[in-house]
């Protein structure tokens, strides 16, 4: 299996163009199932997860082609409603085909995704929501077998807590339902706004974009879409935090500065300067790193997908930092790996107490999930000596050419084939 090898201590200097967001591209790809015909998606990152999603669509009868970062997906030949275990087990987001398949084919058989490294991650909100829209489902051989007689029926759905993919799934089902659907306590992540724009562009009638209440007036048919995937705010944040750890000066282009409000405040308090300019961000650290506390929250709060990276950063401060994870129950797996690099971190329930020691030392470490892998890359960039990260397939799921992008701005990083 490939490894990433990093020699720490080289500040980052130059410009990186940010790719389209994984967590926006995945639901947009699924939304193409809602209407036959060729759909065009621009700024689509080339990731293991986007390829898995395309393989899933192919298994349902769709065809696609890629030209640079533009994807054309034709779902006219849809002829299957089963998302198989083999595809779903490698990527939980596969569950996002449930809503579109129910809307277009009135039937969906989707393998239950099961637990994953960062937590149990049930899909009960998705299933309860569809039930309210008139869908029957049963569990059969590890598959959710769901069906509805004709169109779904609009209803008012209120989530216990905001869920990103449940909001997206119900949204994609409700756009073709009879009557009105209201989603209350909806997640407000920017990737959902991207999906709303795509669906409205296809002829859907959704109001409340960006708010916690979405109002959907069902329509009888939709037309093919043309949409651009929003910039990846988590990739953007990962590079901003990397500069905080190792120093230097980076410009990030093709990004949307409005998507990371909570991160700039924390980075500013930690001594990292971020300057916003239209679709660019300039980041530098010219003062000693200060410890800050973090608590993950749904958008616009601090994203759980940047918690691990921020923890790596805090290891390089000289103070005490309290990092609280409120979204997923098992998202501290990077802690054991950071310990191998000399970090002083104690876990107490949902919180981690980081005692910054001013630095880390390179070591062989293992990636455990996507964002944990990114935190190890950041730790390795700023640590003394060599860090070797194994199981890098996790990184390939969600970062488009991370190693290439970092090495072009001065990092001593390369991929070592197995
Ligand atoms: N939850 C339930 N029941 C459900 C759905 C969610 O209890 O039916 C709980 C979850 O267990 C969690 C909370 O609700 O405690 C919020 O989870 P959410 O459903 O919002 O997460 P998700 O939709 O499965 C998306 C991203 C994740 C990101 C989270 C939180 C995609 C494809 N995935 O997951 O991205 O961490 O939102 O922002 O959009 C990543 O990119 O590395 C990643 C894990």
The 10s digit of each residue's pLDDT in 274-313 is: 999 999 999 999 899 999 999 999 999 999 999 999 999 9
The Cα–Cα gap between 353 and 319 comes to 10
| Mean residue pLDDT across the chain | 96
pLDDT in tens, 384-402: 999 999 999 899 999 999 9
| Ligand 1 center to 118 CA (angstroms) | 10
Amino acid 113: pLDDT: 81
Active site residues: 116
Amino acid 119: pLDDT: 72
Amino acid 149: pLDDT: 96
371 lines ligand 1 (CB under 6 A): yes
328 lines ligand 1 (CB under 6 A): yes
The Cα–Cα gap between 189 and 209 comes to 10
pLDDT in tens, 186-244: 999 999 999 999 999 999 999 999 999 999 999 999 999 999 999 999 999 999 999 99
- pLDDT band per the 50, 70, 90 thresholds, residue 124: very high
pLDDT in tens, 45-94: 999 999 999 999 999 999 999 999 999 999 999 999 999 999 888 898 99
Query: Mean pLDDT over residues 123-152, rounded?
Result: 96
Query: Mean pLDDT over residues 331-344, rounded?
Result: 96
Amino acid 83: pLDDT: 95
Question: How much of the chain exceeds pLDDT 70, in percent?
Answer: 99
With a cut of 70, say whether residue 114 has pLDDT above it.
no
Query: Mean pLDDT over residues 25-34, rounded?
Result: 98
pTM for this one? 0.97
Atom of ligand 1 nearest to the CA of 161: 14
- pLDDT band per the 50, 70, 90 thresholds, residue 116: low
With a cut of 80, say whether residue 120 has pLDDT above it.
no
Contact at 8 Å (CB) between 293 and 323? yes
| Ligand 1 center to 88 CA (angstroms) | 15
pLDDT in tens, 343-379: 999 999 999 999 999 999 999 999 989 999 999 999 9
The Cα–Cα gap between 23 and 18 comes to 14
Atom of ligand 1 nearest to the CA of 127: 8
Nearest CA to ligand 1 atom 5: 123
Query: Mean pLDDT over residues 316-339, rounded?
Result: 95
Mutate to test the pocket of ligand 1, among 22, 23, 397 (most ligand atoms within 8 A of CB): 23
The Cα–Cα gap between 129 and 169 comes to 9
């Amino acid at each position: 299996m490939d490894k990433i090898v990093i020699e720490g201590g080289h500040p980052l200097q130059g410009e990186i163009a940010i790719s389209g967001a994984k967590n926006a591209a995945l639901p947009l790809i699924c939304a193409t199932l809602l209407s036959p015909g060729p759909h065009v998606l621009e700024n689509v990152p080339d990731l293991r997860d986007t390829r898995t999603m395309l393989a899933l669509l192919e298994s349902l009868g769709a065809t696609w082609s890629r030209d640079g970062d533009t994807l054309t997906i034709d779902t006219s030949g849809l002829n299957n409603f089963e998302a198989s275990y083999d595809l779903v087990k490698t990527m939980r987001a596969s569950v996002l085909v449930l809503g579109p398949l129910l809307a277009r084919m009135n039937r969906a058989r989707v393998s239950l995704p099961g637990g994953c490294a960062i937590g149990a991650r049930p899909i009960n909100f998705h299933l309860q929501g569809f039930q309210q829209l008139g869908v029957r489902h049963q569990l059969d051989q590890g598959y959710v077998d769901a069906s509805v007689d004709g169109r779904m029926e609009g209803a008012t759905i209120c989530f216990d807590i905001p869920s990103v993919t449940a909001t997206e799934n119900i949204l994609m089902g409700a756009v073709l339902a009879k009557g009105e659907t209201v989603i209350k306590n909806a997640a407000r992540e920017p990737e959902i706004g991207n999906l709303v724009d795509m669906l409205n562009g296809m002829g859907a009638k959704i109001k409340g974009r960006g708010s916690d209440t979405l109002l959907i007036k069902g329509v009888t048919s939709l037309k093919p879409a043309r949409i651009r995937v929003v910039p990846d705010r988590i990739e953007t944040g990962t590079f901003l935090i990397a500069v905080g750890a190792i120093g230097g000066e980076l410009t990030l282009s093709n990004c949307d500065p409005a998507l990371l409000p909570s991160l700039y405040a924390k980075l500013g308090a930690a001594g990292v300067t971020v300057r916003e300019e239209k679709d660019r961000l300039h980041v530098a650290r010219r003062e000693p790193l200060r410890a800050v506390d973090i608590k993950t929250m749904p958008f616009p709060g601090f994203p759980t997908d940047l918690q691990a990276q921020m923890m790596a950063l805090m290891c390089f401060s000289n103070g005490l930092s309290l990092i609280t994870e409120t979204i997923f129950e098992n998202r501290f797996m990077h802690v054991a790996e950071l310990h191998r690099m000399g970090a002083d971190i104690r876990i107490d329930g949902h919180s981690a107490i980081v005692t910054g020691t001013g630095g880390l030392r390179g070591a062989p470490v293992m990636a455990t999930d996507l964002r944990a892998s990114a935190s190890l890359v950041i730790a390795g960039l700023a640590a003394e000596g060599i860090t070797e990260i194994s199981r890098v397939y996790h990184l390939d799921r969600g970062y488009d050419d991370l190693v290439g992008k970092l090495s072009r701005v001065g990092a001593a990083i390369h991929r070592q084939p197995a």
